[in-house]
Structure 1
Amino acid sequence: MNQADCQFEIVSDEDGFRALQHEWDDLWSSAHGQYGQSFSVCWLAWQHVAKPRGRHLCCIVHREKGQLVMVWPLVTYRRLLWTYLCPLSPEAGDYTRVLVTNSPATPALIAGAWQTALKRCGADFIKLQYVDEGSELHAVASRERHVMIAARTVAAFAKLREETEWDTFCKTLGTMSGKKPGALERRLSKEGELAVRLTEPGNASENAALVDWILARKRAWGDRVGKRGEWLSSSHYRDFLVNLLCPANGRAMGRLFVVTLDGEPVAATVVGVGTTCVDGLIASFDARFARFGPGSIVVEHVIKWAFDRHLNVDFGVGAERFKAYWSRNNITGAWSAQIASSRWGVLAFRSKKTVRTVARQVARLSSLLAGQRRGTPAFAPNDPGGKRSLDLPMNPS
């Protein structure tokens, strides 16, 4: 691309952002975009999460011959003395992806968008959550010098569009915990009148009630296992989910599946629907029925629904067994990172790193002195070489 082609625009006002809708929709369709890359989802995330939380728009776009070929919706916010740049999203563990046309120019477009984010968005730090390993965005971000935090997790992806017959597909799966597809549902049906259904997008009251049911049980689960994301108690995220299922205008980008026993919900899940893929967003179940696997039952119905519509299923991050099972161990990587993108950010990063290093050294020295006062040898007698450096952790494992 020549210099004229490499001009990137930043849309920072709400009216300008909304004006992108029609050409954004066209790009999303032609690029086979995923759920979270659609204008509808990003607009809901802005209206119900980012804007109420005081975020500021910083949406990077690029056009070729007047046609939109790339859009990367970002937001900025202040924390203490620093400005952070992060993707526009519901802020609940979502992927970071750039919507871009499929062409030989794609790597250059991603690189240009990244440089625009670094140089023109006024941020001290860039926070990226769950970037697909091996993607162009991962490649450019991982080359940065000042990566403060980098963590890898795994994700599972079921390639259902390659399959043609449900029973044949199920036979390739084997069993999970000794059960084949359909077995858990037959078992639970003996406990009462069992039903599994998809709610109607127009039924706002039912969808809202079930979203509240999912979040309440998800919070209870988080308390039991010691995991509690801020978004679980966020009214903003709750409103996002409700509006995702019951949009004021246009088609619903989210669908809700519910398993009921004698008319009462025992499991439910919300999924996002893209052009070629279904994304798992949030799910929960009634812990009283855990031994019957109601969560697995609702997942199976989601997969069958996607299968019938020739859609893949992205289970999202996490190493849960059911994800590996239904994806036939098609496991990929996803990276989260925080990168210092200004001199002020680099200074803060280095200062924080220095403070942590000094604190660790002080703690080690204090531990050593306390051991000497108790009469403990300064160095472990079974240490290979007969000594242990104070620069090394006392327990390398």
Structure 2
Amino acid sequence: MNDTDLQYEIVGDEDGFRALQHEWDDLWARAHGRYDQAFRVCWLAWRHVAKPRGRKLRCIVGREKGRMVMVWPLVTHKRYLWTYMVPLSPEAGDYTSVLMEGGPSAPTLVAGAWHAVCHRCKADFVHLPYMNEGIELYQLASCEPHVVHASRHDSWLAKLREETDWDAYCNSLGTMYRKKPGARERRLAKEGQVAVRVIDPSDALEIASIVDWMLEWKRAWGDRVDKRGEWVDSPLFRNFLVDLLGTAQGQAMARLVVVSLDGKPIAALVVSLGNPCATAIIAGFDAEYGKFGLGSIVVEHGVKWAFEQGFDLDFGVGSEHFKPYWSRGNVSTAWTLQIVNTRWGLLAVHGKRTARELMKWVSPLRRLASMQGRVSRRY
């Protein structure tokens, strides 16, 4: 591939974005794209989350002799006087990556996309969450001269396609919290009739009801452990999940695994379809039954569903114990970077640093003045 064969365009309007669907779907299929790189997922993220929040589309498309070979959907938004660029997503902890054909041309494709971001989109800051450190995009972004934030995360992947027998796989895992797979569910079954279902994507009412319950459970859990993301309270994210799981807007891109006790839903997990790697998106459970390890039970069934479908399963970033357990310790490193892209952005950074330094000097003087005032009033 010659550089002269490549052309990059930036699609900034909704109609132009929608018109990419057919080519995008073809690229996603042949490139074995991730769930969050699929057009339908990005479209739902745009319609339900980014557009209502006033984001502006900046979708970078790479073509070789007119044929789409790369797409990277991004959005911009204003914060005070500065423009920020972020990936188009439901803003709930998704990876940053570029959908493209693999092979020796990959570095050239990513370099062209990164050049378009830095020089044509005019963003003051570029925020890139959860980039795998092995991808070309991370190599480029991390070498930028003005990286003002970098945080490291562990990312976990269960290579289920390497397994041929579910029971043998479970037996190879050992124990988690001194329990083997299936033990917690057997204990729960002593309380009543346990049922595990994958909800039919056409059942819109049940999907909406269980998503609402799940997010309510998730909020309660977040309050208990002091770990509550903004997206958990967002009706925009709720609507994204409902359409992701249903068929109202086209093909469902995820499935809802539900554990019930005597007909009452008590735990749920959203897991994406795979291509061939699926993603565990969000789980929630009723704290009333927390002593039974409901999170572990529903995750186990989500893993089993992915195994039966012939998918690997990505658990995303985080330190929860079930992630290294089910992935057999298969961990990689992901990075979140924030990069200053313009002089105007640098001015904001320097101004913030100067303000912090001034506060270091001013705060002791304020305390001294306050003490002197109390002493003078006393005498």
The TM-score with structure 2 as length reference comes to: 0.94
1:249 positional shift = 4.1
After superposition, give the CA deviation of every residue in 1:195-247 in whole Å (9 maximum; x if it has no partner). 01100100000000000001111111112222222111111111000011113
The equivalent residue for 2:30 is: 30
The equivalent residue for 2:149 is: 149
Superposed counterparts of 1:34-49, under 5 Å: 34-49=34-49
1:79 positional shift = 1.1
After superposition, give the CA deviation of every residue in 1:143-186 in whole Å (9 maximum; x if it has no partner). 01111111111121111111111122112101111111111111
Superposed counterparts of 1:313-332, under 5 Å: 313-332=313-332
Equivalent pairs, count: 371
The equivalent residue for 2:67 is: 67
The equivalent residue for 1:119 is: 119
In 1, are the aligned partners of 2:266 and 2:289 still within 8 Å (CA)? Answer: yes
In 1, are the aligned partners of 2:274 and 2:312 still within 8 Å (CA)? Answer: no
| Separation in 2, partners of 1:247, 1:53 | 24
1:7 positional shift = 2.4
Q: Which moved more, 1:68-77 or 1:225-234?
A: 225-234
**Which consecutive unaligned segments of at least 5 residues does structure 1 have?**
371-397
Superposed counterparts of 1:186-201, under 5 Å: 186-201=186-201
The equivalent residue for 1:296 is: 296
Residue 49 of structure 2 aligns with an amino acid whose one-letter code is V
Could you say what secondary structure the match of 1:173 adopts? coil
1:253 matched to 2:253? The reply is: yes
Residue 355 of structure 2 aligns with an amino acid whose one-letter code is V
1:112 positional shift = 1.1
Query: How has the CA–CA distance of structure 1 residues 4 and 268 changed in structure 2, closer, same or farther, with 3 Å as cutoff?
Result: same
The equivalent residue for 1:203 is: 203
Runs of 4+ with >3 A deviation: 360-370
| Separation in 1, partners of 2:32, 2:215 | 30
Could you say what secondary structure the match of 1:89 adopts? coil
Identity between Structure 1 and Structure 2 (%): 60
After superposition, give the CA deviation of every residue in 1:301-351 in whole Å (9 maximum; x if it has no partner). 111111112211100111111111000111111111111111101111122
| Separation in 1, partners of 2:281, 2:52 | 21
**Which consecutive unaligned segments of at least 5 residues does structure 2 have?**
371-379
In 2, are the aligned partners of 1:85 and 1:127 still within 8 Å (CA)? Answer: yes
Residue 208 of structure 2 aligns with an amino acid whose one-letter code is A
Residue 41 of structure 2 aligns with an amino acid whose one-letter code is V
The equivalent residue for 1:338 is: 338
1:366 positional shift = 8.0
Query: How has the CA–CA distance of structure 1 residues 365 and 154 changed in structure 2, closer, same or farther, with 3 Å as cutoff?
Result: farther
In 1, are the aligned partners of 2:7 and 2:64 still within 8 Å (CA)? Answer: no
Residue 319 of structure 1 aligns with an amino acid whose one-letter code is S
The TM-score with structure 1 as length reference comes to: 0.90
Superposed counterparts of 1:33-112, under 5 Å: 33-112=33-112
CA RMSD, Structure 1 to Structure 2 (Å): 1.8
